[in-house]
């Protein structure tokens, strides 16, 4: 199914931020089947449980991609599937969302802990704050934040917390190094959640894959410029098909 691309969304905001990109991709290539699939609704932060659910529900032998947490999960699933995954693309997905000594280009641990505590106290307020962080760097950040949050599903706080706890522990570096298929990773220069330096750090880790930095954009660049992002993805897919 080299003509099927499955896209996974980020934390908390549901599938709606991905839909303009899916439509733009479909408009560029009528033969490409693009599916936006929701993340598992689990109250567990066990990575294997999330991957088991995705592996059981997502079509095999397809391209896998995702935004932020969705891209991290797509990376892990691509490594698990190996030759049963045509290729991988991630959008604003840091291999490690929370900083560590050997991956400093990420969100500081204390900032994340504050965010986690906020979600535990008031998940809906935290989701609004998250929307603002996603929209940081956009031309109309407040308008984009409202758009992001207005389409968010009504997810129980226990499941939102599980997703955040998963985000904190995920480290996709081994998975990215293990996956031998084509890879495209796009980052944003003004991202309020994933430092732009993560792009060059990832290039050092994976010198043979395609990594791009969209300078004047924030974390939600896929919603701000779906046609531009779709063009970059389509070029990558065609180049990979030609290899």
Q: Could you list the active site residues?
A: 68, 191, 219
Q: How far is CA 137 from CA 14, 184, 212, 224, in A?
A: 21, 22, 17, 10
Q: How far is CA 57 from CA 14, 40, 73, 84, 120, in A?
A: 17, 10, 14, 14, 29
The per-type count for the chain, helices as H runs and strands as E runs, is: 11, 6
Return the structure tokens found at 160: 């939102």
Return the structure tokens found at 80: 């698990």
What's the rounded Cα separation, in Å, for the pair 10 and 66? 7
What's the rounded Cα separation, in Å, for the pair 158 and 195? 28
Q: Which residues fall within 8 angstroms of residue 221, CB to CB, at 6 or more apart?
A: 91, 92, 186, 188, 214, 229
DSSP secondary structure letter of residue 18:
G
DSSP secondary structure letter of residue 176:
H
């Amino acid at each position: 199914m080299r003509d099927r691309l499955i896209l996974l969304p980020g934390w908390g905001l549901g599938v709606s931020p991905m839909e303009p990109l899916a439509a733009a991709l479909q408009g560029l290539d009528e033969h490409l089947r693009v599916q936006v699939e929701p993340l598992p609704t689990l109250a567990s932060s066990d990575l294997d449980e999330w991957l088991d659910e995705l592996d059981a529900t997502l079509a095999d032998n397809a391209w896998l991609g995702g935004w932020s947490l969705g891209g991290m999960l797509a990376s892990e699933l691509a490594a698990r599937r190996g030759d049963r995954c045509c290729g991988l693309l991630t959008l604003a997905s840091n291999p490690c969302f929370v900083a560590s000594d050997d991956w400093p280009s990420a969100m500081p641990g204390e900032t994340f802990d504050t965010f986690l505590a906020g979600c535990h106290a008031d998940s809906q307020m935290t989701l609004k704050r998250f929307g603002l962080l996603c929209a940081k760097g956009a031309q109309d950040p407040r308008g984009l934040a409202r758009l992001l949050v207005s389409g968010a599903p009504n997810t129980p706080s226990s499941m939102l917390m599980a997703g955040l706890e998963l985000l904190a522990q995920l480290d996709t570096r081994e998975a990215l190094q293990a996956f031998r298929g084509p890879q495209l990773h796009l980052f944003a220069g003004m991202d309020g959640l994933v430092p732009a330096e993560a792009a060059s750090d990832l290039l050092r880790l994976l010198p043979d894959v395609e990594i791009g930095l969209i300078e004047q954009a924030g974390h939600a660049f896929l919603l701000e410029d779906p046609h531009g992002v779709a063009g970059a993805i389509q070029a990558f897919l065609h180049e990979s098909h030609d290899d």
